[in-house]
Amino acid sequence: MMFIGSRHCPRCGAEASRVEESDGGTAKRNCPHCRVDLKQAKVGNVTLRECDRCAGLWVDVASFEKICVEREQQSAVLGAASPVPKGLKNFDSPNRVKYVPCPECGELMNRINFARCSGVVVDVCKGHGTWFDRDEMSQIIEFIRAGGLEAARSKEKLELSDEWQKLRREQLAVSSGESPMSGPMQFNADHSSVIVAAKGLLKLLMD
């Protein structure tokens, strides 16, 4: 995706600021697919790490937050992208699910559908960052700019509101001595599941 070469965003014309950086003696990080060192580059005001074999990107948590919320940063990332050369390795496989290690800690990452509805499945290490295969970062930025993230948040808020109302009705039914519509243990499990999902979205996908 991000063979970072063009100087302007192909969509809005904004100038792309891209500066290659040395690692400054920091620990090396390997591509989870190719097992080669990731190249470090500053794009706008964030630092990304890119694989020059498969065009994958490693983005730490703070940098991904900025990309999600700052339109200028989105333009800088899009503007830094150039066409992917022919013959580049492609690890996409529609019939195969593969869990890959975090470049920071080496633990297998979780596969998450960004915002639960974008259709872009990325690899996430909660404590360290997100791995984007070729083209996935551009797809996510387009999703955000089309209002997808706000729509996902609104849906989450509505679901949480519904669950809280169910909980309130459950409490009222118990206090009045009526039989609840569902068992308390089952309800609490369902409720906890929704809360965890919402927190995961807001924390991992940039509230």
Q: pLDDT, tens digit, for every residue of 34-49? A: 999 999 989 998 999 9
Please indicate, yes or no, whether residues 72 and 48 belong to a single structural domain of this protein: yes
Domain residues for the domain of 129 are 3-145
The pTM score is: 0.64
Q: pLDDT, tens digit, for every residue of 136-174? A: 999 999 998 988 878 777 777 777 777 888 888 888 888
Please indicate, yes or no, whether residues 56 and 112 belong to a single structural domain of this protein: yes
Spatial neighbors of 152 by CB under 8 A, at least 6 apart, are: 115, 116, 117, 118, 201, 205
Please indicate, yes or no, whether residues 141 and 93 belong to a single structural domain of this protein: yes
- In this structure, are strands 39-43 and 18-20 parallel, antiparallel, or unpaired? antiparallel
Please indicate, yes or no, whether residues 19 and 87 belong to a single structural domain of this protein: yes
Mean pLDDT of the region 56-69:
94
User: Residue 193: is it exposed, middle or buried by C-beta count within 10 angstroms (0-12/13-18/19+)?
Assistant: exposed
Please indicate, yes or no, whether residues 118 and 191 belong to a single structural domain of this protein: no
Q: How many domains does the chain have?
A: 2
Select from 123, 145, 167 the last residue of a domain.
Answer: 145
- How many Cα neighbours within 13 Å face the side chain of 147? 3
Please indicate, yes or no, whether residues 196 and 125 belong to a single structural domain of this protein: no
Select from 97, 129, 145 the last residue of a domain.
Answer: 145
